Chain A
Amino acid sequence: MTDTTTTPAYSETPEEREFELRASIGSYWTGGRLFIGMFTFLLASEAFAYFYLRSSNSGQLWRPRNVTAPTGIGWSIYAVVLVSSVLVIYGQWRMRRGSVIDWEVAGWTAVLGGLVALGLQIWQLTQLPFYPGSSGYASCFIGWAVMNIMMLFGATFWIETVLARSLRLRKVAADDGPVQLGGSPQAQIFRANVSACTYFWGFVAVASTLFWVMFYLI
């Protein structure tokens, strides 16, 4: 049953090697943007639901008595996400200028921030002053909370895996210098991953701002 053979010799010319490297780096670039596109349409559906129910105001039940989700927790989540996003972006900026430790500290702080934001978001769901089905606003808020959990989980997971990889590669590729700065294919692919991840964190900041305005300000 286990008719297993070893992997055949896989060889590459230098030109093919360069091609594979460019393709891998390009895949991170394209994939990162496409991933944002997917999340944009997911969140746009939530925004559509928000404005659709708000404008239709069925039974005058869009937002009776102007109820709002717990503001303090909401502002805290937003602040933590924003700070984490800025840290990730700043960290990459510093990394490009050769300060690896700055990127690592900023990244791990962002991981912590992401976890805190996740915890706050889940806690907020237990503190709601309204029943989930009491109004259009209440329903949309629950929907947003679930999507926010998905988005924050994804962003935190991504940055954590990048950081964990950098720690492991520190041992593997020491002769090429830190993976954040080296010229090896592994290092170039790593930086493409960091770049895509940073771009996604920027998107998280923008999306959080828009939905923060929608649910807490207007």
Chain B
Amino acid sequence: MTISAERESEVAYPDPTPPHAGGIQGWTSRPGWLSQHLGTAIVGAVAGYLIGHWLGNVIASGYNYVANSGVNAIANTGGLLLGALGWLIGIGALNYPLAKMVGMEPAPEQETTSWTRYFRYTADHKVVGLQYVIGVLLFLFTGGLLAMAIRTELLSPTSHVFGPGTYISIVSEHGTMMMMMATSAVVGPLGNWLVPIMIGARRTAFPRIEAFSFWIFSAGYLVILTALPYGGFPTGWTGYAPLQTQASGGMMSYLVGFALIGSGMMAAGFNLAVTIVNYRAPGMTWSRVPIFVWSILATCALLTLATPTLVAAGLFGILDHTAQTAFYVNEHGGSSYLWENLFWFFGHPEVYIMALPGFGIVGEILPVFTRKPLFAYKVAAAGMVGVALLSFFVWQHHLFQSGINPDMRPLFMLTTELISIPTGFIFLVGMGTLYKAKIRFEVPMLFALALFFNFLIGGVTGVFLSDVPVNVTVHGGFFVLSHFHYTIMGGLIFALFGGLYFWLPKMTGKTMNKKLGQIHFWMMFIFFNLTFFPMFIIGLLGQPRRVFEYQQNLQALNDFSSVSAFILGSSFLVFIANFAWSIFIKPTPAPPNPWNSLGLEWQTASPVPYYNFERIPVVLTDPYRYGEEGAPPVADLGEELVGAGAGPRAGTSTGETSATSAE
């Protein structure tokens, strides 16, 4: 039977529980103020926090050490954990697990076009993706504001805005928030929204786990925010013991917050990995899987396998503060190095959790704007898998200065240098695609090109840092700080914005303003480099991280860096203005396929239907056969053939239409 013949024999779905879900008998999906939404989540969180705090006080009231310390970590932890639980109960995350206990499956979720769906627990991966967009940007901008505070303090080596304790708390909060955000920055918004559509699926494998990942991620954001009113924490984002065990109030927010975010990361990675393995459309062989999906798969492997170590490390820290265990207390049979090992066993794969999706995004953008196939596609995919595997074997290079057996240094120096090989492959794939290309300098492409410039600097300095002699010399200084900002912000955040400009027209159906996009890009690119490049010099001249006073002769460079940082920060205001203007204030409808891309996600209808595709597509080739005469169509969508051989479905021709209007 031919595909078209089979499709003509379609049957209506008779199952009362189609593959999407609401809560108990549809309770959460019922619209209106009486249903569960963000408001009930806030009420649940506040109630949970108060109950948990009260319980903690009751439990700890008989212990002298609590009374003498002046800090009740049990009450803090109880409040934060039950607050998070109340948040999840309030939004409806526990409805389904409770219903399952009595053997019930959820009633069908009512599809709604109301904006209120963005404030609910939903099984629609596209809604979850857009919830993540807002959540991640909120995280990013909060962390960015803290960065502005840091640079304000560093304007002068002697006149101070903050005291030393406040300064280190701000630095710690900034680092932690940014790292938490960065782990989910691409997987959350773009991964959830795009991956099912890119592989031709109508749903994700576990949509409630996907929704859970977002709502626990947002709970983690609120928990880490509580660190400042609790007095902050002095450890930086790495949370090193013994400082961790000596710290008070805000440390619990760090530990609980990281555990919550970690749970969200595992949930998101778990769902997407299972979806990619099982829900690829017929014909979507591994050699046709889009490179962005490969990057997400490699990232999900890291999320699901490395993050449990972070959760375990956080659990031990919480137990040290509450149950008075001594995991990280040297004097009682524990070891502060235990934290460092566990933390970095997660922490270094985390670097690639942040880097790989960025490469995946630019791997999608480059072929579209060069109208060339992705160069050495299989090498790029293999490089991503190679990076993911090797990332488990390099964590000890973070401990070169922390008492590691000197004999172990060469081994970890070697593994660290080895990982630059698959990373280099991915980089060269980008260069090969650009070679002799006629580039369309649209806004997404500008961000993609910037990634290669920034990551080159970040990557090369990373190779320097993997060498023990250099590492010993510059450890703990601004050189390292600049290096990882070049890789994470210069790589991931530039890729994220490139991805947002590229896919937002499909995700929202609205056109982003091109002029504002260009202003955003050039401000961000120029002042990112002017902010962080001087920090290499500042670091080589000896300024340490996390210290609010520095040598007088470094003031000029610091001031230059600070002023650049302020302009860099204001570039995000341009993005916010563009987003608000283009999406909400004066929306301009976007064409269905404004970039004339061959990607499967652009071939389905706009706005994307609830089930993504009217018919499950049959994939016929990979989506990178640009400029190839006689190439087959990308997929049979059950309607008309689309792809290189069939011409653009959206009715736009190359370069003629843009998703960013110049008005």
Chain A contacts to B: CB under 8 angstroms: 1-17, 19-20, 22-24, 26-27, 30-31, 34-35, 37-39, 41-42, 44-46, 48-49, 52-53, 56-59, 61-62, 131-140, 142-143, 146-147, 157, 160-161, 164-169, 185-186
B615 near A13: Cβ-Cβ < 8 Å: yes
Across the interface, which residues of A come within 8 angstroms of B9, CB to CB?
Answer: 13-14
A42 near B308: Cβ-Cβ < 8 Å: yes
Interface residue from B101, B112, B309 paired with A5 (Cβ < 8 Å): B112
A34 near B304: Cβ-Cβ < 8 Å: yes
Contact A6-B110, Cβ < 8 Å, known A13-B615, A45-B309: yes
In the bound complex, how far is the Cα of B338 from the Cα of A2, in angstroms? 53
Does B274 interact with chain A (Cβ within 8 Å)? yes
- Nearest B residue (CB) for A172: B16
Would you list 7 pairs from A and B whose C-beta atoms are within 8 A, ordered by A residue?
Answer: A1-B31, A13-B6, A13-B7, A19-B616, A30-B277, A41-B305, A45-B312
Across the interface, which residues of B come within 8 angstroms of A12, CB to CB?
Answer: 10-11, 13
B13 near A23: Cβ-Cβ < 8 Å: no
Main secondary structure of the interface of A (DSSP, over half): helix
Smallest CB separation, A136 vs chain B (Å): 4
B329 near A133: Cβ-Cβ < 8 Å: yes
Across the interface, which residues of A come within 8 angstroms of B335, CB to CB?
Answer: 52-53, 56, 58, 136
Across the interface, which residues of B come within 8 angstroms of A26, CB to CB?
Answer: 277-278
Interface residue from B100, B270, B327, B329 paired with A35 (Cβ < 8 Å): B270
Does B342 interact with chain A (Cβ within 8 Å)? yes
Contact A7-B324, Cβ < 8 Å, known A13-B10, A164-B101: no
Interface residue from A14, A137, A160, A169 paired with B333 (Cβ < 8 Å): A137
- Nearest B residue (CB) for A133: B326
A23 near B116: Cβ-Cβ < 8 Å: no
- Nearest B residue (CB) for A22: B278
> With contacts defined as CB atoms under 8 Å apart, how many contacts are there between chain A and chain B in the complex?
223
A2 near B32: Cβ-Cβ < 8 Å: yes
Contact A1-B116, Cβ < 8 Å, known A27-B278, A53-B334, A56-B335: yes
A58 near B330: Cβ-Cβ < 8 Å: yes
Does B114 interact with chain A (Cβ within 8 Å)? yes
Contact A14-B338, Cβ < 8 Å, known A38-B304, A61-B332: no
Proximity bits, B295-330, A CB within 8 Å = 1, else 0: 000000000111011011101100110011111011
B313 near A45: Cβ-Cβ < 8 Å: yes
Smallest CB separation, A58 vs chain B (Å): 5
In the bound complex, how far is the Cα of B333 from the Cα of A134, in angstroms? 7
Does B103 interact with chain A (Cβ within 8 Å)? yes
5 other A-B residue contacts (CB within 8 Å) besides A3-B112, A31-B270: A17-B11, A30-B277, A53-B334, A136-B333, A139-B326
In the bound complex, how far is the Cα of B610 from the Cα of A10, in angstroms? 9
B205 near A27: Cβ-Cβ < 8 Å: yes
In the bound complex, how far is the Cα of B282 from the Cα of A15, in angstroms? 10
In the bound complex, how far is the Cα of B403 from the Cα of A52, in angstroms? 14
A169 near B103: Cβ-Cβ < 8 Å: yes
Smallest CB separation, B466 vs chain A (Å): 24
- Nearest A residue (CB) for B329: A133
Across the interface, which residues of B come within 8 angstroms of A30, CB to CB?
Answer: 205, 273-274, 277-278
B103 near A168: Cβ-Cβ < 8 Å: yes
Across the interface, which residues of A come within 8 angstroms of B12, CB to CB?
Answer: 9-11
- Nearest B residue (CB) for A61: B333
Across the interface, which residues of B come within 8 angstroms of A147, CB to CB?
Answer: 312, 315
- Nearest A residue (CB) for B31: A2
Smallest CB separation, B362 vs chain A (Å): 28
Q: Which residue among A4, A134, A137, A143 has the maximum number of chain B CB atoms within 10 Å of its CB? A: A4
Does B108 interact with chain A (Cβ within 8 Å)? yes
A49 near B616: Cβ-Cβ < 8 Å: no
A132 near B278: Cβ-Cβ < 8 Å: no
In the bound complex, how far is the Cα of B11 from the Cα of A9, in angstroms? 11
A23 near B103: Cβ-Cβ < 8 Å: no
- Can you list the 4 inter-chain pairs with the closest CB atoms, starting with the nearest? A61-B333, A45-B312, A168-B103, A164-B103
- Nearest A residue (CB) for B17: A186
